Structure 1
Amino acid sequence: MLYTGLTGWGDHPIVYDPESKKTDKLKDYSTHFPIVELDSSFYAVQPERNIRKWISETPDNFQFVVKAYQGMTGHQRGKIPFDSREEMFEAFRLSMGPLKEEGKLGMILMQYPPWFDCKKENVAEIRDAAEKLQGFDVAVEFRNQTWYSPEFREKTIAFLKENRLIHSVCDEPQAGEGSIPFVPVSTREDKVLVRLHGRNTAGWKNTGGDGDKWRKIRYLYDYSEEELKWLSRKVKQLEEETKSVYLIFNNNSAGNAAPNAKQFQQLHGLEPNGLAPKQLGLFEGDD
């Protein structure tokens, strides 16, 4: 089974019903895609009221891929609002409880930063995180290529398998140590995550600038039809290895994620189940 979706639901105008309220963006989004990546959880552990609201606004079979709070993966640059690592993880676990209870938690994504390289203490940190999140499906995404070096690649995959961690397969620019290669391997028999960041090499290397401006440049990319066909072939290989493939388009700096995801669905032969005729028309050129 293949589930396709986007990062966030608040910045994809093409999927919104023009007659809907601004507060209905998630409702509109969920008529087009069965999964979404929840990014607000990266910036703060979300209160229960937010989680309950998002649960109520989505269909019963809708799922969230939830990005772990930044302090859990070493991204935090300011003060962490928790007294200990244990308290931080416990707060996050409690936050995820309602999603898990409702069957809407696809997985928790632990995305580690570019400076998190393959060494003993970092392996121990991942193992500790997996233990603290026991009972949840956890995906691991690396941003440092040492994890996939000839010396460590097989050990990295074996480590993920041993700890029942979901492999996050990434398509991204090959731009030195702070990027990883495309490694289409599933480490569990039930789930694998694929995240498509685009192939803007110049933007990926540009990590300076004011505020988060560099982030917008980094994900500025429009996949070509040939690139989407290539990705479709790779995803079909993954479908032979595991029960469910979760595919997330993250190339939305210029609004390309939703159109690319729709084009991918068509190339991959997916049926847009449950979509109303008006919604389908947004992508098929109907009036």
Structure 2
Amino acid sequence: MIYVGVTGWGDHDSLYRDGVSQRDKLKEYGAHFPVVEVDASFYAVQPKRNSEKWVSETPVPFQFVVKAYQGMTGHQRGEIPFENKKEMFKAFRDSLEAYQKAGKLAMVLFQFPPWFDCKRENVNYLRWCKAEMGDTPVAIEFRNQSWYRPNMYQQTLEFVQKEGWIHTVCDEPQAGEGSIPIVLESIHPDKTLVRLHGRNIHGWQKPSSGDNWREVRYLYRYNHLELTEWVEKIRKLEKQSKDIYVLFNNNSGGDAADNAKQMIEMLGIEYEGLAPKQLGLF
């Protein structure tokens, strides 16, 4: 099955009724898409009450891709707010309980930063992360080109497969060392993640974008030809993996939701079991 959605549910105003509160947006989001990426978990390990709320507000077949906490992937600046890394991982695993009990955890996404390059120290850390996560399905996304250079390309894919990671296929600006090419390989027989970040090459690198670089880097709208090319790519991945999760991350200009709806239409998908389009007032 192909699940199409977006990253986060707070920034897609075209989906929601006028005046709908931030608190209620996920309920309405579930009327449009069968999957979402939880970004809040990257900035802080979420209290269980949050995941319990989100699980209760979504339809039975709904799926969550939960982003790993930044301290787990090396994005954290300064000291982590835990006694050690093992406690950090335990706290994060505990935060997943509601998703798992409801059968709504598609995977945890470990997105590593541009400075996480291909070297033995980092390979060993990946093994440690995978062991700490146990049986929880985990996806890996690199942001450093060294993992896919010609001399490491096949070794990287073999390592990801051997260790049991779900491969993340990315579409992003080709802006040097801190970006990766499209690696159209499923690897995992059950699940593959596709994240579409846009192609705003001028905004991708932080130094050239100023204080608002996060808003600029994901400012991009996929055109019909680009989406058509991705339909073909997704169909290829579908032959290699049981479930494909496609997440649009080009959120800055409000384009992600529109592009995701276009993609669903182009793939000819009609989802069953979504939330009602018209939600009650009470």
| CA-CA distance at 1:270 after TM superposition | 1.3
Instruction: Identify the structure with bigger relative contact order (alpha carbons < 8 Å, sequence gap 6+).
Output: 2
Q: Quick one: percent identity of the two aligned structures?
A: 56
**4+ long deviations beyond 3 Å:** 18-22, 206-211, 272-279
- Paired with 1:276 and 1:38, the residues of 2 have a C-alpha distance of 18
- Paired with 1:219 and 1:63, the residues of 2 have a C-alpha distance of 23
Spell out, residue by residue over 1:103-142, the C-alpha distance to the aligned partner (whole angstroms, 9 max, x if none).
Answer: 1111000000000000111000011000000110000000
Match of 1:174 in 2: 174
Match status 1:93 vs 2:113: no
User: Which sections of structure 1, spanning at least 5 residues, go unmatched?
Assistant: 280-287
| CA-CA distance at 1:274 after TM superposition | 5.0
Match of 1:144 in 2: 144
User: Which sections of structure 2, spanning at least 5 residues, go unmatched?
Assistant: none
| CA-CA distance at 1:21 after TM superposition | 4.1
| CA-CA distance at 1:70 after TM superposition | 0.2
SS of the equivalent of 1:6 reads strand
SS of the equivalent of 1:180 reads coil
Match of 1:242 in 2: 241
- Paired with 2:30 and 2:218, the residues of 1 have a C-alpha distance of 23
CA RMSD of aligned residues (A): 1.5
| CA-CA distance at 1:19 after TM superposition | 6.6
- Paired with 1:277 and 1:263, the residues of 2 have a C-alpha distance of 20
Distance 1:278 1:174, change over 3 A: same
| 8 A contact 1:207–1:215 mirrored in 2 | no
1:196-207 to structure 2, matched below 5 A, reads 196-207=196-207
| CA-CA distance at 1:265 after TM superposition | 1.0
| CA-CA distance at 1:272 after TM superposition | 4.5
Match of 2:226 in 1: 227
Greater alpha carbon shift after TM alignment, 18-27 vs 180-189: 18-27
| CA-CA distance at 1:187 after TM superposition | 1.6
| 8 A contact 1:189–1:242 mirrored in 2 | yes
Q: TM-score, normalised by structure 1?
A: 0.93
- Paired with 1:254 and 1:207, the residues of 2 have a C-alpha distance of 20
| 8 A contact 2:2–2:245 mirrored in 1 | yes
Q: TM-score, normalised by structure 2?
A: 0.95
Match status 1:183 vs 2:183: yes
Match status 1:195 vs 2:195: yes
Distance 1:94 1:275, change over 3 A: closer
